Structure 1
Amino acid sequence: MNNHDIKIREFNVNDQSGVASLQEEFIKEFFPEFQSDPRQYDWNADIYDIEKYYTEHGGMFWVIEKNNSIIGVGGFRLVSPTIAEIKRVRISINHREKGLGKTIIRTIEDYCRQHKVQKILVDTDERLTTAKAMYEKLGYTIYKKETEIEGNESYVNYYFEKDIY
């Protein structure tokens, strides 16, 4: 990440609407069929209360900022004291292919190592081919594949893990 206008920092409560906007952009791009689904709020409850779902339970959440705008996010929740689960890695459509996804993953990994987390889990959908390739490049291995059926469509979810400690 060479751009000096870009910084990664810990989430603060003033970032909440920017995080939600990035999630809405993501849904519109990759899951448009769910945009008006009334279940959206329940599925994305963590996005609307980062502190409750992440920081209050030992996890962390970061934002990537450029010119005071949130262009990327990502965090983790603890599954156990030694296992973390990466959640909500999102990079704005206009800022992809610049290594920002890898940067947020490495930030999570470094933080987890410092806090004695031994393993990191993450999952992604088959439609997110770039994310799948990124996790594989970063040394994550698939430990489970699961087919999800929604209406007339079916999708494969990939579950990855990586030992880091």
Structure 2
Amino acid sequence: METVFTIEALTPEAPNAHAIIRSYMFELASRYYGRPATPDEVEQALRDEPYDDLTGSTGVLLIAMQDGEPIACAGARFDGAVAELTKVFTLPEYRGQGVGKRLLRRVEDVCRARGVDVVRLDTRSDLVEAHALYESLGFARVEAFNSDAYAEVWYSKSL
């Protein structure tokens, strides 16, 4: 059964945006360290992976909301006809319920409306749930297009 939720474009400084991004960074850092991340490690991850540009002409940040609470997020940075997908995350208890797919389809709609032809992303190899999601939506693995220290797998999709 699919989860009932709404999708809102929020500014990065909005409390609900910050809350879900913090949850995302906690999970990423915890997986990286192989244990629950400390508050300092989460703060460092937030500094290492800024998202304040996911608004206005440079990007978008979409948040899936259920009963006023954020349950998932996805952002895109715009660079001409190419967009970089970033900050894709669904709280564990909502995974497998269609939230991520619907959210990413909405990101693609926003990208098309902005004149984007290609959406691409990089991710880590241990984020297997993300790989399955991207591949189910037609993203294909491609050669590396950046040298991000945490990137191990690259994807691209023509819109």
TM-score, shorter chain, exceeding 0.5:
yes
Query: Is 1:14 matched up with 2:15?
Result: yes
Q: CA deviation at 1:2?
A: 4.1
Q: CA deviation at 1:44?
A: 2.8
Contact 1:22-1:71 at 8 Å conserved across structures:
no
Q: CA deviation at 1:87?
A: 0.2
Query: Is 1:31 matched up with 2:32?
Result: yes
Q: Where does residue 157 of structure 1 map in the other structure?
A: 152
**CA–CA separation in structure 2 for the residues paired with 1:156 and 1:53:** 20
**CA–CA separation in structure 1 for the residues paired with 2:26 and 2:66:** 17
- Deviation larger for 31-40 or 125-134: 31-40
Q: Where does residue 107 of structure 1 map in the other structure?
A: 106
**CA–CA separation in structure 1 for the residues paired with 2:97 and 2:61:** 20
* Per-residue Cα deviation, 1:125-150 (whole angstroms, up to 9, x for no partner): 1111121122122111111259x9x9
**CA–CA separation in structure 2 for the residues paired with 1:83 and 1:156:** 18
**CA–CA separation in structure 2 for the residues paired with 1:131 and 1:15:** 22
Query: Is 1:44 matched up with 2:49?
Result: yes
Larger Rg: 1
Q: Which runs of 5+ in 1 are unaligned?
A: 47-51
**CA–CA separation in structure 1 for the residues paired with 2:17 and 2:104:** 20
Q: CA RMSD in A?
A: 2.6
Query: Is 1:141 matched up with 2:136?
Result: no
Indicate the structure with greater strand content.
1
Q: CA deviation at 1:26?
A: 1.9
When residues 29 and 98 of structure 1 are mapped into structure 2, their CA distance, relative to the original with a 3 A threshold, is farther
When residues 24 and 142 of structure 1 are mapped into structure 2, their CA distance, relative to the original with a 3 A threshold, is closer
Q: CA deviation at 1:42?
A: 2.3
**CA–CA separation in structure 2 for the residues paired with 1:24 and 1:143:** 25
Counterpart amino acid of residue 155 in structure 2: F
When residues 17 and 91 of structure 1 are mapped into structure 2, their CA distance, relative to the original with a 3 A threshold, is same
Question: Structure 1 vs Structure 2: percent identity of aligned residues?
Answer: 21
